[in-house]
Amino acid sequence: MAEHRPSAANGDICVIVPTIREYECIRAYVENARTHGFDVSRLHFVLVTEDFCDVAEMREMLDELGVSGEVFDGARREEWYADNGVVEYGHVVPAASHAETSFGLLYMWANPEFEYGVFIDDDTLPHDDEDYFGRHMANLAFEGEIERVSSDEHWVNVLYQNADEHGLYPRGYPYSAMDETVETGTADVESGEVVASQGLWTNVPDLDAVRILMDGDLEGQAQTRTTADDFGEDFVAARGNYLTVCSMNLAFRREVIPAFYQLPMDDNEWDVGRFDDIWSGLFLKRACDVLGKRIYNGGPLCEHNKAPRSTFDDLANEVAGLELNEHVWEVVDGAGDDADSYAAVFDETADALAEGDFSEWNNGAFLNHCGEYMRDWLDCLDAIRRTPAPADD
């Protein structure tokens, strides 16, 4: 008997959730949408999971909630690659890694009815008092004046608004860019200029393991917590300034997918992990600066309930890439000046990484590896575009 696979044709928003643990969080997001009158028929959920997880229970949950969606474990992903004629590119999405969010991007690309994507991590919950999906959609449609933030280090701390009180810098913020002088002004944003909406987080801040250890926490969570009072007005980072982009609470327009690849972390010979969304954010910000687009930051907030785990395990996953993280943005910053599309900016960035000499840095060859995978990413998107959609069962 053929497996039932729901059609993706009804909605225009693809909600991508990488999960092996607390997939029940989706209930809270659906309830939030219904409570605030958001049209849930616009939402199509894509759960990216593993063969050892209970896929049947995940499907049953989507059925119980009355929402459109599909669940992709490893076997289903392989089947999807075959259906879409891209088996040779299956390696671009690493197994058992948070970077599996890239599969959701491929899925969106193969289904042009999706105009928007939303990344949600399974250890988050929406704030009850705010229309989660409605706010993200409003951010993407924003036009008008908004706070513009910059610094003398060309980096913006997305937690800058109460940094004098809590002293936090998010995961991925370079250590060399700390103690920056922050400047604020006003940006005039035109309709269609915002291409990504990054919602920030209360409760457990998104820090790297070194900073968590410095905060005195051995369970991976940090002792210092954030509340809604730590966040003020929404903002954008100025042109030529970078920022950390965390994929736990993020909406984006379909158009950015060529420049938003979540890199092949964890399963590589250099053991580099935990920088997939951070470095993808660098690529996206560079493309935005070249093309005159913006990343919107602030609401909707989510509650981040990171599960206890060894801070030292996180440190082991991060340390191989810490030195590279201090420099990769400088490589990105020099690419794609004259490019006229997301793919073109990303292609030039891929060349800069694939062909660069980074031997002076620990694990510098990993950046060459990333550049090659980025080239494969663009080739995979082209192959999907050329492949006819498989017939419905």
3-state secondary structure the chain: CCCCCCCCCCCCEEEEEECCCCCCHHHHHHHHHHHCCCCHHHEEEEEECCCCCCHHHHHHHHHHHCCEEEEECHHHHHHHHHHCCCHHHHHHCCCCCHHHHHHHHHHHHHCCCCCEEEEECCCEEECCCCCHHHHHHHHHCCCEEEEEEEECCCEECCCHHHHHHHCCCCCCCCHHHCCCCEEEEEEEECCCCEEEEEEEEEECCCCCHHHHHHCCCCCCCCCCCECHHHCCCCEEECCCCEECCCCCEEEEEHHHHHHCCCCCCCCCCCCCCCCHHHHHHHHHHHHHHHHCCEEEEEEEEEEECCCCCCHHHHHHHHHHHHHHHHHHHHHHHCCCCCCCCHHHHHHHHHHHHHHCCCCCCCCCHHHHHHHHHHHHHHHHHHHHHHCCCCCCC
Q: Is residue 392 situated within a structural domain? A: no
Domain annotation covers residue 57: yes
* Whether pLDDT at 204 is above 70: yes
Q: What is the pLDDT of residues 1-32, one digit of tens each?
A: 233 344 444 799 999 999 987 899 999 999 99
pLDDT one-digit tens code per residue, 336-380: 999 999 999 999 999 999 999 999 999 999 999 999 999 999 999
- Whose CA is closest to 82, among 90, 93, 91, 74? 90
- Whether residue 292 is predicted with pLDDT greater than 80 in this model: the reply is yes
Residue range of the domain that includes 290: 13-386
146-196 pLDDT per residue, tens: 999 999 999 999 999 999 999 999 999 999 999 999 999 999 999 999 999
Higher pLDDT, 98 or 107: 107
Count of alpha carbons within 13 Å of 183, Cβ hemisphere only?
10
What is the pLDDT at residue 388?
A: 60
How many domains, the chain? 1
Residue 391 belongs to a domain: no
Pairing type for strands 68-72 and 242-243 reads unpaired
Reported as half-sphere exposure (CB side, CA atoms, 13 A), residue 4 has a value of: 7
Distance CA 168, CA 156 (A): 12
Q: What is the tens place of the pLDDT at every residue in 313-344?
A: 999 989 999 999 999 999 999 899 999 999 99
Looking at the domain assignment, is residue 3 inside a domain?
A: no
- Which candidate, 292, 189, 180, 170, places its Cα nearest to that of 243? 170
Q: Cα separation of 348 and 339, whole Å?
A: 8
Is the pTM higher than 0.85? yes
> By C-alpha distance, which of 132, 131, 108 is closest to 45?
108
